[in-house]
Amino acid sequence: MKKSLALFALLLLTGAGCQVAKAPVVPSQNNPVQQPAAQNDGIEGTWQMDTFQKSKMVVQDVSAQSWRFTFEEGVISGKICNTIGGNYGLIEDVLVADELVSTLMYCAGLSSEVEGVLIQDLAVGLKFRIEGDILTLSENLLKRVYTFKRVK
């Protein structure tokens, strides 16, 4: 009985705090209700962040940081300082990942700044454009722009 109770308590503790994210609905002409993000566009693959533009005037080269994100079958995963993951959706030319989860390590400096604003921007949606092996994500209000190079 004690073993069963201990196992039950362990299962409760390991499941506590886990969150299941749902992919946003992606409308289409043929199916206005639902279409998986994976069937949309060539965003799938691994991308390494190249630059971070936090305002119209300031562009930072972050290519040496090896901050990578992978898009696969409607799931985004990546790492800047913390490991980040969840579902994403593509709505026309906007990428939305509004229920991301991440580890909660202490981060300082540029990695903390970029990670924080990127997660916020993905939650409300970033305009995306792919030209060759370059992915550009842009936020209109504060003029933040993230560029990535395709890794694979």
Per residue in 74-128, pLDDT (tens digit) is 999 999 999 999 999 999 999 999 999 999 999 999 999 999 999 999 999 999 9
The domain of 60 spans 38-150
Q: pTM for this structure? A: 0.72
Number of domains in the chain: 1
- CA 93 – CA 125 distance, rounded (Å): 10
Q: Give the confidence band of 152 by pLDDT, cuts at 50, 70, 90.
A: confident
Looking at the domain assignment, is residue 8 inside a domain?
no
Looking at the domain assignment, is residue 16 inside a domain?
no
Per residue in 39-84, pLDDT (tens digit) is 345 999 999 999 999 988 899 999 999 999 999 999 999 999 999 9
Report DSSP state, residue 133: T
